Structures are given as C-alpha cells and as structure tokens.
Amino acid sequence: MKVNEYDVAVIGAGVTGSAIARYLARYELKTVVLEKEEDVSSGTTKANSGIVHAGFDAAPGSMMAKMNVKGCAMIKELSKTLDFPYRNNGSMVLCFDEAEIPNLKALYERGITNGVKELKLLTGDEARAMEPAISDAVVAALWAPTAGIVCPFSLCIALAENAADNGVEFKFLTEVENIEKTAEGFRISTNNGEITANTVVNAAGVYADKIHNMVSADKLTITPRRGEYVLMDKEVGDLVSATIFQLPGKLGKGVLVTPTAHGNLLVGPNAQDLDDKEDTETTQAGMDDIKKRALLSVPGVPYNKMITSFAGLRAHEARHDFILGEVSDCEGFFDAAGIESPGLTSAPAIGEYMADMIAEKLSAKQKENFNPERKGFIEVAKLPREERARLIKERPEYGRIVCRCENISEGEILDAINRTLGARSLDGVKRRVRQGMGRCQAGFCTPRTMELLARELKIPMTEVRKNRPGSELLKG
C-alpha cells in the first residue's frame, strides 16, 4: 500500500482532528491534515464553553462517557507537556427545586457509574459557602472537583503544533470536494489539488456528514446546533470560582456561568438547531435569553462589563453519542463524528483512541524520536521581572507593547506569526497570543498588528485579513 502519497489524511483541523494528528504523530506514518479554513481551531473549536467536564453527564456505557472521563484526566496532564492554559476549578450543578433533588442524585449516581472521582452532593448553604455569588434559591448542588477550564484554541493549537513539529503536514484553505475509494486507498479531490492516502479520518465537525456520505451508503446527518455566549471583562472574572451549571429541568438544559482559563467571566450557551452550517450569527433574542437565564444561578452577573458576544455550532447527531471507528461499508475510512459536548474534554482521548486504531490497521510502528513536549507562547508580561528584562535586552521587540489591554508585545505577535503553523490573519494572532482579546477589543492594536502581519507575510496591507479570504480589513 505504498503507492499513495500519505498513509493517513485527516479531514479537519479542529480540536478533534488536531488531537488525532498529534497521536498519529507517535507512529511511523505519513500524515496530512486537510483544513478548509485558513487556520486550525476555526470551526466548533473556536467558539465553545472551554469546559473540561468531569463526566457525570453522559449516558453510562456510551463512548461519550468513556472519552469524557478519560479526556478530563488527560487534559490536566497535557496542559503540562503541551503548555497551554488550564485550571482545575471544579464544577457545580445547581438545583433550585426540592422536587428535583432526586434528579440531582441521579446525576451523582450516573457520575459514580461513569467513574468520576470525588463527586459530592451539597446542601444549598454548603454550595453558597463555596460560591458566595450563587443564588439564594439554590437548594442543593452537585460538586465535581475534577472538572476544569481550558482555553479551547490554545489546546487545539498546542495539539496541532506538536503534531506538525513531529512531522504531520497541514494544508489550509483546502476544502475536500470529493473522496473516491480506489483499489489502493483513497483519492481526495480538493479546491487545492488532489491527494491520495491509504486511510482517511473524518474529523470535519459540522461537515462530518457531508464527508462521511461521500463514501458510505449508511448516511449520516449532523445538525448544527448553535450556542450563543457573552463574555465579561477580566475585572469580574472571579465572580465565581467553579463552573456553575443548572440542573436540567423544567426550564430546559440551563446555561452556565464560568470563569475562563484566561480569567474572564463567560455566560451561555443556548441551543438552537439550524440548517446552515456556517450560521454563527448572534441574535438579540438569543443574547437576551442567556443573560436572563444565567441570573437564576448567579443573580449579580455584571452585564455592563460585557466585552464581547459570540456564537458557535455544535455538531449534533441524533443518537447523541460520539461515532468513532471504521465505517462499516468503506474499509480504511474512519469517522470521528458527532463530536459535540463533551467533545473538547474528550479530544485527547478520542485522538489517542483513533490514532491507535488506525496505526493497528496500518500495522504502523511507534516512532522512536517522537517529542511529546511543546513550549507555549512566551507571555512577557507574566515573566518574572529579571527574566522579562533579560528577554527585552536580547530581543527588544518584547519591550514594545502593542496590545495594551492584554499587555502583548510586538515580539509575541511575531512569535504568533512565525512559529510552526503560524498565524495568517488577525484572528490567528488573537487566538495564539490574545492580542485584541481585551476590553478594547483590538481598537488600539489593530493597525500595528496589521502592519506586522503584512511585513512578516510579505503581503500588502490591503491583503491582511481578519480570518478567511473575503475578510480583508481594508478597502483601499
């Protein structure tokens, strides 16, 4: 089977595809990742809650339950080897009605069955003692200390960078148009040329049905389920310490209130099934709705400190479980589909599981020189004084602050552009080093960052983009 260019073609460079690529990189395999957007982490991964779920929510015995509990532990470890922001802050499910306490207990039991450690049921007062900002109406709560928060793009970028550093190739702006099963493997037609591979992994998020259906008669339907969020300033990021959920009940699934891994306060999401797989538009009604519902949990959410709102799409499949494995009617084609919450938490577990499965299929050997470690981006403002001074002396660009709200220097922006799988757009820089993520939302630093992108990428200013082609920032 060596006639093909690649052993494995992974479709999609979101957190699932990047995780699969990273774990495939441990094997002697020639792997390529095909991504239709201009960067990793551009679909579902870029807009979600960033929660590392403990694992009490998924149905016992499901793939979701297995991957979630395993992924939760893996992310904690990976945050050290791959150096991305993670906090083990724990999560709390609030119950507002005595009559629903049995449901809370059922959740607790399910967690125990799933293998979640350290779960504890709390009274309303015990919960309030831990989280003083939560509502007086809380009568009981489920405390899950193993839960955490992670920066979703940092996780995805870390996985992808580590994969690339270990030899995985990434092709961006490469949209798969057709997949043909050949005698030797697969011929993949894209808007960026043809690729042949022995095996294909479908990690295409909301488009996983489209990719799957190119080769299988057993059709799949993925529904994009939109969730809207509002994000508050870091100034109020410590309003709650744990991630605060609401017990699903009469009022629906509930919205969460959580600190983020970078210290902002996040509220959301709602859930709305759509037809359009690109519809990440926020709506007034949606934002009003989540803001109102979040107040049930935390009555004092300071919406006047809101700095942005956004929406993301979950890749929902009707059976509500992860579809992980070789497609029955197409040998060599693997699905990692239906990856919705807890997909982010599960990503490393899914990556390892899928990679091992494919390696076995291809009888691949472990790579001897695999480097599991990756250094995160330098955060100059967080360095100890002497180290910061030494760094600036060595490279003065670390002393030129571009983004004032997040204290990001020119040096850090150059790092974002110039290292492995570097940023190609304003959003790419933002997701790597948080330029423009602060309270002014890039008002001051946009012009300078655009100049740096133009200079480093050797393109005219008029070609500098916000993200994908068509999002050029200037008109002349």
Partner 1 sequence: MDRHDLIIIGGGPAGLAAALSARENGIEDILILERDVRLGGILNQCIHNGFGLHTFKEELTGPEYAERYAKRVIEAGIPYKLNTICADISPDREVTYVNAEEGCVTVKAGAVILAMGCRERPRGALGLPGFRQAGVYTAGTAQRLMNIEGYLVGKEVVILGSGDIGLIMARRMTLEGAKVKVVAELMPYSGGLKRNIVQCLDDFNIPLRLSHTVTRVHGKERVEGVTISEVGADRRPIPGTEEFYSCDTLLLSCGLLPENELSKSAGVRLSRVTGGAEVNESLETSVPGVFSCGNVLHVHDLVDYVSEEASRAGKNAAAFIKAGGMRERGRVITLKGEGGVRYTVPQTIDPKNMEDKLTVRFRVGDVYKGKSLAVYYNGVEVRRVRKRVMAPGEMEELVITRASIPEDTDEIIIRVED
Binding region for partner 1 (CB under 8 A): 230-231, 278, 280-284, 286-287, 306-310, 381, 385, 388-390, 392-393, 396-401, 404-405, 407, 439-444, 446-447, 451, 461-462, 465-476
For residue 73, give every residue at least 6 positions away whose Cβ sits within 8 Å of its Cβ, in sequence order, or none.
Answer: 146
How far, in Å, CA of 113 to CA of 78, rounded?
A: 25
Report the nearest approach of partner 1 to the CB of residue 244 (Å).
22
Cβ proximity to partner 1: between 125 and 278 the closer is: 278
Q: What is the DSSP letter of 363?
A: T
Query: Which CB atom, from 275 or from 368, has the smaller least distance to partner 1?
Result: 275
CB nearer partner 1, residue 375 or residue 390: 390
Closest CA to 221 of 208, 234, 235: 208
Pairing of strands 265-268, 256-259: antiparallel
CA atoms within a 13 Å half-sphere pointing along the CA-CB vector of 208: 35
DSSP states along 151-185: -HHHHHHHHHHHHHHTT-EEE-S--EEEEEE-SSS
User: Which DSSP helix (H) or strand (E) runs through 356?
Assistant: helix 343-361
Question: Per-residue DSSP letters for 52-113?
Answer: E--S-SSPTTSHHHHHHHHHHHHHHHHHHHTT--EE---EEEEE--GGGHHHHHHHHHHHHH
CA 15, chain centre distance (Å): 5
* Catalytic site includes residue 53: yes
Q: How far is the CB of 134 from partner 1 (least distance, A)?
A: 24
Continuous segment of H or E residues that includes residue 125:
helix 124-130
Which residue do the tokens 């532990």 mark? 73
Which of 53, 212, 262, 320 is catalytic? The answer is: 53
Residue closer to partner 1 by CB (options 373, 472) is 472
Question: Based on CB atoms, which residue is closest to partner 1, 112 or 474?
Answer: 474
Least CB distance from residue 388 to partner 1, whole Å? 5
Which are the catalytic amino acids?
53
